[in-house]
Amino acid sequence: MHRSVRWLDIFLQAICLTILVALAIVVLLGIAFRYSGNSLIWYDEVAAVLLAWITFFGAALAMNRDAHMGFSGLLYSLPPAGRLSLFVLVEVIVFTVLAIAVWAGWTILAIFGGETMTTLRWMPRAVVQGVLPVSAGLMMLARALSMPERLEYVREGRDPEAREIEEEISRAQAELAAPGDSK
C-alpha cells in the first residue's frame, strides 16, 4: 500500500471514529435526558446529521480500501484486454458519478445559502450539507491514489479478493495445525 493511501486511510479512520464517538455521546445524552423527563430538542436532528456524516465518510474509507461491493470474479475471468477495458470503463463511470456528486453538493450548498439547522440556530446548514461534496472529493482522491495498485492487479490478473481468501484459509489451517496451542 502506498504511503499516501495509508495516510488517507488513517485520516478517514480518525474522522469516522470521531463521528462515531460523537454519535454515541449524543445518543446517550438523548436517552438520559429523555429518561429524566427533559428531552433535548436538538437530539434527533444532530443524531441524523452525524449518522449521515459517518455514512459518507465511511464510504470514502471503504473506497480507499477498495472495499465496496464489486464483481471481481467477472473482471478477472476476462482475457487481459477485456479486463483492462472493463477496468477503464468502471473507473470512468465511478469518477463521473463522484464528480456529479461533488457538483451537486456544491449546488446544494449554494441553494441553502445562509440557512441554519432547525434546532441549533447557530449551526450553518452549509456545515451539515457540506459532507456531500467533501466526501465525494475524498472518494475521488482515494480512488485515484489506489488506482496504480488496482491497475497492476488487473494487468497481472491477480484477484485481490481471491488472494485474501486464500491467505485467510492458509492462516486458519496454520492455526489448526499448531501443536499445543489451544485457546
Q: Report helix, strand or coil for 152.
A: helix
- What pLDDT score does 183 carry? 52
Cell of 56: 459518507
- What pLDDT score does 7 carry? 94
Mean pLDDT of the 165-174 span: 88
Mean pLDDT of the 71-79 span: 83
Q: How far apart are CA 178 and CA 162, in angstroms?
A: 24
Q: Is 38 left (phi over 0), alpha (psi -120 to 50) or beta?
A: beta
The answer, yes or no, to whether residue 38 has pLDDT greater than 60, is yes
Cell of 159: 484477484
Cβ atoms of 125 and 115 within 8 Å: the answer is yes
Cβ atoms of 5 and 64 within 8 Å: the answer is yes
pLDDT tens digits, one per residue of 101-150:
999 999 988 887 678 777 888 888 788 888 999 999 999 999 999 999 88
Q: Report helix, strand or coil for 67.
A: coil
The answer, yes or no, to whether residue 181 has pLDDT greater than 60, is no
Say what the pTM is: 0.81
Q: Report helix, strand or coil for 107.
A: helix
